[in-house]
Amino acid sequence: MKKIKVSVIHTEYLDVPHEASPGSNNFSESAALAYVNDNINKTLEYVKKAGQAGSDLVCTHEDFINSGLYVRDFDNPLFASIVKHTYKQIREQMSSLAKQYSMLIATNNYEEHNGDIYNTSTVYGRNGEILGQYRKVHLADSENWRAVPGDTFNVIETDIGKIGFAICYDMIFPESCRMLALNGADIIIHQTQGWGTMGKGKPIVGESFMRVRAAENSVYLIVAKVIQGREQERSMVIDNFGNIIAESDVLTEELLTVEFEPDYNMIEPYHFNSYFSGVPSIKARQLLARRPQVYNEITDQAPCVMSKYKEYKLNHAIEDAKRVMEKWESIPDEEQAKYYW
């Protein structure tokens, strides 16, 4: 296959003006709308830079407009209003730029559809058309209060390969990337605010997650990470052997761009196992060696381990959310500081 050029927008959100900050004493909805529009315009400028650089594909990070800033204001329709009105605007602007530069664009932002809100990734084709979308399957706990999860791991056909998405929390679950790989993904785009770490996991664990997901599924992995000022969290492009072929700085805004010739089938004719199996494709050989008949527990709703956690349930109802937030707001700042992402 010919070389492809991939760009990743590695940026931070604009500073939130006081009047656009939820909970401020002079909060203004018009200021909030202006703030998310400024984030949109900032990203559009980077998309243009990618087009001018001749990129085949450019990726934004998760929720690049920062509408999630307003997701926990449950009694205010502002979040839903922002989602509804910006989504059409984003579609028109990204479609126009994709056509102008004959470039694929992968975006992530909230989408309103038939009254429901989804965390949605979209691929725009070189002619400006929408080639396909993916709705985040594994929603973060606070996100579940306002959004609806998707239920399919669809893969989108493009002229540079088949593209799938694992959005932020999706990456925690190895089944996400496995499903995308089994559905034929050559490239998985991981648009995120987090970094694949849970609890006391060190930042390096996040990098390990990404590299292992790429290697174990024989896919190229594009990580598009928003800058949040934490150690080692960066955007990167990883090949299907798990090697990092391009990475951003941590705190410096940039358009990370790399050109490479993909080998989606991972042909290694002189590999030891290729010789004995008669199959020169590492990817094909590993797929042929699978034994799904012994993987039953993976899709079991109540595997054995869950017997240890019978007393737990997730709080996903709006009523639960309001109670949790009321309790949270009553906790002194020094106590809140003990909680970490």
Alpha carbon dihedral 227, 232, 236, 239, in 10-degree steps, equals -160
| β-pairing verdict for 236-238 and 220-225 | antiparallel
More confident residue, 329 or 163: 163
Of all residues in the chain, the percent with pLDDT exceeding 70 is 98
Indicate the CATH number of 4-336 among 1.20.200.10, 3.10.450.50, 3.20.20.140, 3.60.110.10: 3.60.110.10
Count CB-CB contacts under 10 A for residue 128.
Answer: 17
Q: Name the 3-class secondary structure at 277.
A: helix
Q: What is the pLDDT of residues 99-155, one digit of tens each?
A: 999 999 999 999 999 999 999 999 999 999 999 999 999 998 888 888 999 999 999
Residue 202 has pLDDT above 80, yes or no: no
CA distance 64 to 189: 15
Helix axes 29-52, 78-101, angle to 10 degrees: 20
CA distance 179 to 334: 42
Q: Which amino acid is at 235?
A: S
Q: What is the pTM of this model?
A: 0.95
Residue boundaries of the structural domains of the chain: 4-336
Place of tokens 């896919």: 219
Torsions phi, psi for 271 (to 5 deg)? -70, 145
Alpha helices, DSSP H, located in the chain = 29-52, 78-101, 174-182, 203-217, 272-277, 282-288, 318-329, 333-336
User: In sequence order, which residues have a C-beta less than 8 Å from that of residue 290 and are 6 or more positions away?
Assistant: none
Q: What is the pLDDT of residues 236-265, one digit of tens each?
A: 999 999 999 999 999 999 999 999 999 999
294-310: average pLDDT: 94
| β-pairing verdict for 236-238 and 161-165 | unpaired
User: The tokens of 189 are what?
Assistant: 């785009």
User: The tokens of 327 are what?
Assistant: 């309790």
Q: Which amino acid is at 248?
A: S
Q: What is the pLDDT of residues 56-100, one digit of tens each?
A: 999 999 999 999 999 877 777 899 999 988 999 999 999 999 999
Residue 341 has pLDDT above 70, yes or no: no
Burial class (CB in 10 A: 0-12, 13-18, 19+), 320: middle
User: The tokens of 199 are what?
Assistant: 């609890």
